[in-house]
């Protein structure tokens, strides 16, 4: 093998050795940084999973508490109704054809937190009959945050209109704009049926 000219000089040899050591040190540093980055990513992934599980748990807890409160309100309304007939407040919504670029104007006055209201969602004409059970979800118009949901609902015919109804308590409807999503309640095979909008204003707002 032909000898490289100048490599026999000690200065060149030491420079070559130093360069090799620097490359080894850089590679080792990159490997350590990569391991740390991977460990941090796994830690963040685990934290994100835990936060999602906790959010789902809290959401389920809120749903159960709302259902219990509504059941109690229904029973209380029945007890009062046995002594004196009362008119049940209703909130009827029609399906949207297109979603507007701006939230809807407030048309509903904030009810009392303990007030029980029958929410009526008119089914679109394209909705198939015999779709089984339905699910209603209310979420904020702008952020899409879940506010309330109820599943296992059946279709009803009221005043010759097909509707899906559910009872909600007044504390669900804080002032603000909302989207109401109606889907079929079929687990993984659920499908969208219609979207509705409403906006609630404070009692003293004009």
Mean pLDDT of 28-35: 83
With tokens 């934290």, the residue in question is 47
Residue 67: the pLDDT is 61
pLDDT tens-digit map of 93-123? 999 988 888 988 998 999 888 888 999 999 9
Answer left, alpha or beta for residue 91, where phi above 0 means left and psi between -120 and 50 means alpha: beta
Statement: residue 84 has pLDDT above 50: no
Residue closest to 133 by CA, chosen among 153, 115, 148: 153
The residue-averaged pLDDT of 85-100 equals 81
Question: pLDDT tens digit string along 172-198?
Answer: 899 999 999 999 887 667 788 999 999
DSSP state of 111: P
Give start and end residues of each alpha helix (H) in 5-94. Answer: 10-83
More confident residue, 35 or 77: 35
Q: Which CATH class is domain 90-201?
A: mainly beta
Query: What residue spans define the domains of the chain?
Result: 1-86, 90-201
Confidence of residue 63 (pLDDT cuts 50, 70, 90): low
The percentage of residues in the chain with a pLDDT greater than 70, rounded to a whole number, is 75
């Amino acid at each position: 093998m032909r000898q490289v000219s100048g490599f026999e000089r000690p200065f060149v040899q030491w420079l070559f050795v130093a360069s090799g050591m620097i490359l080894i040190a850089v590679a080792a540093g990159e490997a350590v940084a990569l391991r740390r980055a991977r460990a941090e990513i796994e830690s963040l992934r685990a934290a994100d999973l835990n936060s999602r599980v906790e959010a789902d748990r809290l959401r389920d807890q809120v749903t159960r508490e709302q259902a219990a409160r509504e059941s109690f309100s229904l029973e209380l309304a029945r007890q009062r109704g046995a002594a004196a007939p009362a008119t049940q407040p209703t909130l009827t919504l029609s399906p949207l054809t297109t979603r507007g670029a701006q939230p809807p104007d407030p048309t509903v006055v904030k009810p009392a937190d303990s007030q029980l209201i029958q929410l009526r969602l008119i089914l679109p004409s394209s909705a198939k009959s015999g779709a089984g059970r339905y699910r209603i979800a209310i979420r904020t118009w702008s952020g899409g945050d879940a506010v309330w949901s109820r599943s296992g609902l059946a279709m009803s015919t009221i005043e010759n209109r097909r509707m899906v109804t559910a009872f909600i308590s007044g504390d669900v409807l804080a002032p603000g704009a909302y989207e109401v999503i109606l889907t079929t309640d079929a687990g993984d095979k659920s499908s969208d049926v219609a979207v509705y909008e409403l906006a609630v204003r404070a009692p003293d707002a004009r």
